[in-house]
A and B are shown apart, each in its own frame.
Chain A
Amino acid sequence: MNAGSALKPLRSLLPVLVILALIALVPLFSPSNRFLSLAISAGINVIALYGLSVLFGQTGILSMGHAALVGVSAYAAAILARDFGVGFWVALPVAAVASAIFAMIVGVPSLRVGGHHFVIMTFAFGQLLAIVLTNGGDYTGAATGLDIAGPVTLFGADVTELTRYYLMVVAFVTVAAVASWAIIHSSYGRTLRAIRENEKLAASLGINVGRHKIGAFVVSGVFAGVSGVLLAYFLGHISPSQFSSFPSIYLALMVMIGGARLIEGPLAGGILVAFLPEVLNLDPVQSRIVYGICLIAVIMLLPDGLIGGIVRALRGLFAGKAKQEAERDAAPSEARR
């Protein structure tokens, strides 16, 4: 294996890192606080989307209850802070593990069924969690939800301030992107893709399909868990409606529009869905119509999502140019003959 082929996977990570570096530079241009706030919300979603891309993009399993996994960690962080005085940095791994455990609990029965049935199962679990939280009395704050108090500090500095929180979220998005990239390019990623392409064939090769599918769900739960803690500390108040079926559908929509198989897909989907209503000044009804049209267009025309489509178009363009150049180079020599 030469150095070029060893570096090839790294080349796929480079564009994302460049984009994220540029995104990290945004505060230098003194953006409005509205922009920063929306960007933080989008970034928090993107972290969850990287988990969803492992599940959907690599393993081929679509979850319609992903917001529930985000909710589990958000509530875990809020309850840990309220009952045990646990701060952000301790809550982060603990709540992420809580989401992963919840993902496993949901995954074990759900993954006994496949395809559309799994989608319905995850949707039902998502709804169930919202119902439990809504009817959880004082423990979950019922439908009003829970406050989460306390600043987020890093090396003694308060990161709750908007620009600092933005940079912290960008850092977490970067970690999520690198982790997702590492999974894609690992033997584990190849195993997941083998399951995605042909479950029976994968099983015949000795791959424990069920265990790996649950594993992928658990991994996506960790991403969702990190996202949930960041969300809870950003908003300072969480309620069940934020983690019900509708936000889950939005997460699935984002990953499908952006593209689940490419590393840039979740980033593109998260940013697009967060900022499209803002840029085009769309109300929620108009937004849903636009997203619906986008989704139909993506499913019919760009099965690998928007980013997949752009990459394919660019490849086509360069391949076409290269072909033209080759033909042009070939033409005089043929004429000479």
Chain B
Amino acid sequence: MIWSREDLKLKTVLKLAASAALCLGALAHPAWAEDNIVKIGVVAAESGSFVSAGHTLPAGVGLAVKQINDAGGFKVGGKTYKLEMVKRDDRTDIATAIAATQELVRDVKVQAIFGSETHDFTLAMAKITQPAKIIHFAGNSTLAKILNPDSVKPGGEDHYLFQSEPQEFQRSGSTARGVLSLLEPLLGFKPRKSVMIVGNDATGQFLSSYYYKALKAEGQDVPDIIFYPPDTTDFSPFLTRAKSLNPDIIHFWYNGDSTLTALPQALELGAAKSYFLFGVDPGIWKEKQLSADVPVAMSCVPVCWGESSNPKAKAYFEAYFAAGAPHGVTSSVSLLYHDYVHFLVEAWQKADSFDPDKTVEALLSLHHQGVVSDDLTFNPTHQVTHATEVCAAAPGGAISCAMQQPPAEAPKS
């Protein structure tokens, strides 16, 4: 068959029309699908100086999103929805964190935001999420500074903000109690004198003020809190000062990476009879084949992945690492976000609505079964309560762990 030029033109036009129709059809499908997709945003330091904790956020939220979607999604208003995580790297830079939050809230139009791990960034982000009525979860105990009965009441400026980490007096209290109870049998005597060595930034100052009180409440003599500038690599001046105080325990707070730099120097100097490393997972201790001739306690925020007394943690971390997340000093920080994606979905289901006010009501009324705890609840000021896991490595290398429940009340200063 011979095609005339006119026929060929017609054929081309038909082909183009068919292609266009197919393309439009293909485009139409996601448009239909988008109706059933709920977007949640993550702002985290996936690069820059806070990357160690930052990368755990999208990993934890992403795993929860996958688990929910693989289970067929969730029903709200008789319709089945699936989740989509939209993550943005804040580059550990406040201008980028703010731009990312603006984008997620106004352009992407997410229903909820998770992050960031950098305390002062979160406080600035809340200035954008709260007026926009976006449910905002952050695992920052610093939020206690702004979460109060006035600010969280309906119409209050932080009504949609939730702290997914226990109040600092609780975390510090359970950590101090756990460290002392695990180190005592390994030391062979009751430790009485503690010195704290702390990174001098927003997080370090805030956390150490509570931990100091927690140690005092446990009867410790704490002659000094030694602050070191962030990014310190030579700890000898700080360790020498600590050694001169003859402590039973040196407590390193809070940056796990800095702590792992400081510990070998402390061991070489023989600065104390034992050590506590905040936020260093026993998994890293084992992977790096670290050892010490004195007892070393470690704590995880909130449950350890390398060695855990929490039965649910093993399954969680298997799935977490299988999804491609790296073994990190603070991989467990992911749990401050993972559980709350499930919690939020449960709240939407209970409220049978995505309305932010109804969601807040539901969040405050629920008792959620998470990995961290079988009974996760938010108190009236939108703060969660749960135990913290503390482990201790004996000089021989054996590691034992225990979940420590938080104190009921803050110690009197």
A binding-site residues for B, Cβ under 8 Å? 32-38, 41, 134, 142-145, 147, 162, 234-237, 239-242, 274, 277, 283-285, 287
A284:B93 contact, CB within 8 angstroms: yes
**With an 8 A cutoff between CB atoms, is B323 at the interface?**
no
User: Chain A residues near B92 (CB, 8 Å)?
Assistant: 284
User: Chain B residues near A33 (CB, 8 Å)?
Assistant: 99, 102-103, 105-107
A283:B91 contact, CB within 8 angstroms: yes
User: Chain A residues near B49 (CB, 8 Å)?
Assistant: 284
Q: Pick the contact of B120 from A37, A38, A144, A283 — CB < 8 Å?
A: A144
B89:A283 contact, CB within 8 angstroms: yes
User: Which B21-43 residues have a C-beta within 8 angstroms of A?
Assistant: none
Which residue of B has the minimal Cβ distance to A274? B95
Q: Pick the contact of A239 from B47, B103, B120, B127 — CB < 8 Å?
A: B120
**With an 8 A cutoff between CB atoms, is B217 at the interface?**
no
Q: Pick the contact of B202 from A41, A144, A235, A283 — CB < 8 Å?
A: A144
User: Chain A residues near B100 (CB, 8 Å)?
Assistant: 34
Q: How far is the CA of A33 from the CA of B124 in the complex (A)?
A: 16
Q: How far is the CA of A334 from the CA of B369 in the complex (A)?
A: 96
User: Which B312-351 residues have a C-beta within 8 angstroms of A?
Assistant: none
User: Chain A residues near B48 (CB, 8 Å)?
Assistant: 283-284
Q: Pick the contact of A237 from B47, B120, B201 — CB < 8 Å?
A: B120
Which residue of B has the minimal Cβ distance to A240? B202
Which residue of A has the minimal Cβ distance to B146? A147
* Given A142-B202, A144-B145; 7 other pairs, CB 8 A cutoff: A33-B105, A37-B98, A38-B99, A143-B120, A144-B123, A240-B202, A277-B91
Q: Pick the contact of B119 from A37, A144, A284 — CB < 8 Å?
A: A144
How far, in Å, is A122 (CB) from chain B's closest CB?
19
**With an 8 A cutoff between CB atoms, is B194 at the interface?**
no
Which residue of A has the minimal Cβ distance to B128? A236
User: Chain B residues near A283 (CB, 8 Å)?
Assistant: 46-48, 89, 91
User: Which B85-135 residues have a C-beta within 8 angstroms of A?
Assistant: 89, 91-96, 98-100, 102-103, 105-107, 119-120, 123-124, 127
Q: Contacts A145-B120, A241-B120, A284-B91: A162 and B99 contacting too (C-beta < 8 A)?
A: no
How far, in Å, is B302 (CB) from chain A's closest CB?
22
User: Chain B residues near A144 (CB, 8 Å)?
Assistant: 119-120, 123, 142, 145, 202, 205-206
A-B contact pairs, 9 of them (CB 8 A): A33-B102, A33-B105, A37-B99, A143-B120, A143-B202, A147-B146, A283-B48, A284-B47, A284-B92
A34, A241, A283 interface centre (most CB from chain B within 10 Å): A34
User: Which B197-221 residues have a C-beta within 8 angstroms of A?
Assistant: 200-206
B127:A235 contact, CB within 8 angstroms: yes
Which residue of A has the minimal Cβ distance to B145? A144
Q: Pick the contact of A235 from B98, B107, B142, B206 — CB < 8 Å?
A: B98
Size category, B interface: 20 to 34
How far, in Å, is A168 (CB) from chain B's closest CB?
16
A-contact 0/1 string along B176-205, CB 8 Å cutoff: 000000000000000000000000111111
Q: Contacts A144-B145, A147-B146, A284-B48: A236 and B124 contacting too (C-beta < 8 A)?
A: yes
Q: How far is the CA of A134 from the CA of B127 in the complex (A)?
A: 22
Which residue of B has the minimal Cβ distance to A42? B95
Q: How far is the CA of A251 from the CA of B203 in the complex (A)?
A: 26
Q: Pick the contact of B205 from A32, A34, A142, A235 — CB < 8 Å?
A: A142
How far, in Å, is A67 (CB) from chain B's closest CB?
12
B120:A34 contact, CB within 8 angstroms: no
A34:B107 contact, CB within 8 angstroms: yes
User: Chain A residues near B202 (CB, 8 Å)?
Assistant: 142-145, 239-241
Q: How far is the CA of A142 from the CA of B145 in the complex (A)?
A: 12
A162:B102 contact, CB within 8 angstroms: yes
B93, B95, B124, B200 interface centre (most CB from chain A within 10 Å): B95
A41:B95 contact, CB within 8 angstroms: yes
Q: Contacts A143-B201, A283-B47, A284-B92: A237 and B103 contacting too (C-beta < 8 A)?
A: no
Q: How far is the CA of A37 from the CA of B93 in the complex (A)?
A: 13
User: Chain A residues near B93 (CB, 8 Å)?
Assistant: 284
Which residue of A has the minimal Cβ distance to B93? A284
User: Chain A residues near B95 (CB, 8 Å)?
Assistant: 37-38, 41, 274
A147:B99 contact, CB within 8 angstroms: no
Top 9 nearest A-B pairs (CB, nearest first) are A236-B127, A283-B47, A34-B103, A143-B202, A37-B99, A41-B95, A239-B120, A237-B124, A33-B106
Q: How far is the CA of A221 from the CA of B120 in the complex (A)?
A: 26
Q: How far is the CA of A283 from the CA of B103 in the complex (A)?
A: 19
How far, in Å, is B274 (CB) from chain A's closest CB?
28
B98:A41 contact, CB within 8 angstroms: yes
User: Chain B residues near A142 (CB, 8 Å)?
Assistant: 202, 205-206
User: Chain B residues near A236 (CB, 8 Å)?
Assistant: 124, 127
User: Chain B residues near A287 (CB, 8 Å)?
Assistant: 91
Q: How far is the CA of A37 from the CA of B104 in the complex (A)?
A: 12
Q: Contacts A143-B205, A283-B47, A284-B92: A34 and B102 contacting too (C-beta < 8 A)?
A: yes
How far, in Å, is A44 (CB) from chain B's closest CB?
9
A235:B201 contact, CB within 8 angstroms: no
User: Chain B residues near A284 (CB, 8 Å)?
Assistant: 47-49, 91-93
Q: How far is the CA of A255 from the CA of B107 in the complex (A)?
A: 32
A37:B102 contact, CB within 8 angstroms: yes
Q: Contacts A147-B123, A242-B94: A37 and B103 contacting too (C-beta < 8 A)?
A: yes
User: Chain B residues near A34 (CB, 8 Å)?
Assistant: 99-100, 102-103, 107
Q: How far is the CA of A34 from the CA of B98 in the complex (A)?
A: 8
User: Which B65-94 residues have a C-beta within 8 angstroms of A?
Assistant: 89, 91-94
User: Chain B residues near A35 (CB, 8 Å)?
Assistant: 99
How far, in Å, is B47 (CB) from chain A's closest CB?
3
Q: How far is the CA of A33 from the CA of B202 in the complex (A)?
A: 28
How far, in Å, is B343 (CB) from chain A's closest CB?
26
Q: How far is the CA of A162 from the CA of B201 in the complex (A)?
A: 30
User: Chain A residues near B123 (CB, 8 Å)?
Assistant: 144-145, 147, 237
B89:A36 contact, CB within 8 angstroms: no
How far, in Å, is B125 (CB) from chain A's closest CB?
9
How far, in Å, is B348 (CB) from chain A's closest CB?
25
Q: How far is the CA of A242 from the CA of B200 in the complex (A)?
A: 15
Which residue of A has the minimal Cβ distance to B125? A237
Q: How far is the CA of A34 from the CA of B91 in the complex (A)?
A: 14
B47:A143 contact, CB within 8 angstroms: no
How far, in Å, is B8 (CB) from chain A's closest CB?
41
How far, in Å, is A58 (CB) from chain B's closest CB?
28
User: Chain A residues near B120 (CB, 8 Å)?
Assistant: 143-145, 237, 239, 241
Which residue of A has the minimal Cβ distance to B106? A33
Which residue of A has the minimal Cβ distance to B142? A144
Q: Pick the contact of B124 from A134, A235, A274, A285 — CB < 8 Å?
A: A235
